[in-house]
Amino acid sequence: MLTVSILAVALAAAGCSKNTGEDDGTGDQTEASTQTATLAENSDGPAPEVPGAKKGGTVTIYTSGDFEHLDPQQNYVVPAQTTGTNLLYRTLTQYRENGDGKLEVVGDLATNTGEESDGGKTWKYTLKDGLKYEDGTPITAQDVAYGIARSFSPDLPNGPHYAQQWLAGDADYNAKYKGPYDGGAQIPPNVEVPDAKTIIFKFPEPHADTPFLAAMTTVSPVPKAKDTKVQYDNRPFSSGPYKIKEYRRGQQMTLVRNENWDPKTDPIRHNYPDQYVINFTRSAEQASELLIADQGANQAALTMQDMTIPASVYPKAIADTSAKSRILTGPTQFVWLINFNTQRVKDLKVRQALNYAIDRQGMLKVWGSYAGDPGTTLLSPTTSGYQKYNAYDGGTNGNIEKAKELLGGKKLNLTYAYRNTERNQAIAAFLRSSFQQVGVNLNIQPVDEDQYYTVIGKKDNQFDMYMSGWGSDWPGGGTVIPPLWDGDRIVPEGNNNYSYLDDPKVNAEIDRILGLSDLTEADKAWAELDKDIMTRLAPAIPVIYDKQTTLYGSKIGGIYLSAPYGNSGLNNLYVK
């Protein structure tokens, strides 16, 4: 097995670009590539100073709706993840980056990226000295273990499931343990906490990529005394450089400095702004217009990944010299898919027909052609081992006749759920119009933005189709194919397998690949399984390889496109 000391793996390169020969008006064409992430030898703080940075001022962030979950153990959507990991809470490890293309995994709460033994089954982490919560109480290894224990609770079903499954040695991680509530143990299975500074994971199987798992919000510490269970979404207790001053759900959140955060313990974060104001009330169009105008408080504002410049505003943005220079753009690791709920859309020919019928170029025009590229695979081109293919090549605008042939003259009524935002409203209307040409009537139904993934993650949801975006949690296909397509991982709620695909051959191949010690061999196998899933089962329609295209104000400094999160990095921001 490749040992962690020499682990180097491919990760989405947000900052690398090369000319594609096509100009969309920005003059800055990018295409996805891969990048090497390494494990750092030095995890000491403080983080290097950002050139030109100074303290003071307020940064305003516009995001298209409230966070689905800010509770670290349920946090799994990019804007909330970035806010959480950059500003509010810390993890055992984290990514050190500043947009220069170099990416390292460093010890965050921990002194290093982990000490491996027993062939990769055992991992030991030692916490740094001087770690404190916002009230000045010490952060302990017991708190980290308790946070992980919470993630097992059926009351908190959303969020990543890697830690739970690895520790239980089973996709059904609740078979023997259901978290710390109702008399459950405060420390999860296969975790040892010999003292306040030490936490040890003893996995039933080897996991060479544990340093990447340790950067997930699942391993954020939660003090038991502050745990409000499902209400923790409303007020997570800060271990990071900022804390919540005010949170009015659906309206606004204000973050102020956490005076008990010690920069000497933190190798990645800063606390330059006096405060952050996160506004949930503006549409993408409204926020983009405010940032183009660049007046008053909006000079120190930015939009998040979910607020891509809309097609209605984009021409105005690139026609304005100042605004054009303030567009943060680059490929991300995300692929947007139209999922079929295979529990309901059982006919393979129907799923294949709509794969042939999809008009990717037309859809991109609605989405914003500057904000992505046509996608035909489950894995992003940023993924190590990626193989290009198109299992249902209907041309750039779809093959209506082939789709009709597969449907055999049948007329269908299908229900399509969409995230209730301007962009997704337009996409839903486009798909309804487009699929009418092949005899499929889409009944389109909105779902509140701050509930969307929770709703479609319920196994008994009543929708036939819906769109989702997924990017690798850390390098390689092992954080894409298993969570999205492993039928053994399907649970009543909190699913990431939104197609509810449960194919014995796919499940067995996932298990086989996860057991490979050669990561290069595994990368190739994930790409082959990607093609098999689409060719044999067609559980989704891949449509778009994502590209970040957002705006920021003229007084924002230290901004960059974060490779692990595909979003604006917040840890280096300052007000000029």
DSSP 114: -
| Interval 238-247: pLDDT, tens | 999 999 999 9
- The 3-state DSSP composition of the chain as helix, strand, coil percent (nearest 5) reads 30, 20, 45
- pTM value is 0.87
Handedness of CA 427, 428, 429, 432 (dihedral sign): positive
Single out the residue of 198, 267, 541, 197 nearest to residue 391, CA to CA: 541
The whole-number pLDDT of residue 378 equals 98
The whole-number pLDDT of residue 28 equals 39
How far apart are the C-alpha atoms of 457 and 460, rounded to whole Å? 9
Residues of the chain where predicted confidence (pLDDT) is lower than 70:
1-36
The values of phi and psi at residue 191, to 5°, are -120, 135
For 387-422, letters b (16+ CB in 10 Å) and e give: eeebbbebeeebbbebbbebbeeeebebbbbbbbbe
Peptide bond into 46 cis (omega under 30): yes
Structure-block tokens of residue 204: 């039933």
Contact yes or no for 187/57 (Cβ under 8 A): no
The whole-number pLDDT of residue 485 equals 98
DSSP 413-444: EEEEEEESSHHHHHHHHHHHHHHHTTTEEEEE
Query: All domains of the chain, ordered by start, with CATH?
Result: 32-276+552-575 (3.40.190.10), 330-548 (3.10.105.10)
How far apart are the C-alpha atoms of 222 and 231, rounded to whole Å? 13
The whole-number pLDDT of residue 365 equals 93
Contact yes or no for 29/23 (Cβ under 8 A): yes
How far apart are the C-alpha atoms of 207 and 190, rounded to whole Å? 14
DSSP 233-287: GG-PPP-SSEEEEEEETTTEEEEEE-TT--GGG-SS----SSEEEEE-S--HHHH
Contact yes or no for 93/108 (Cβ under 8 A): yes
* CA dihedral angle for residue 228, residue 233, residue 238, residue 243, rounded to 10 degrees: -120
DSSP 187: S
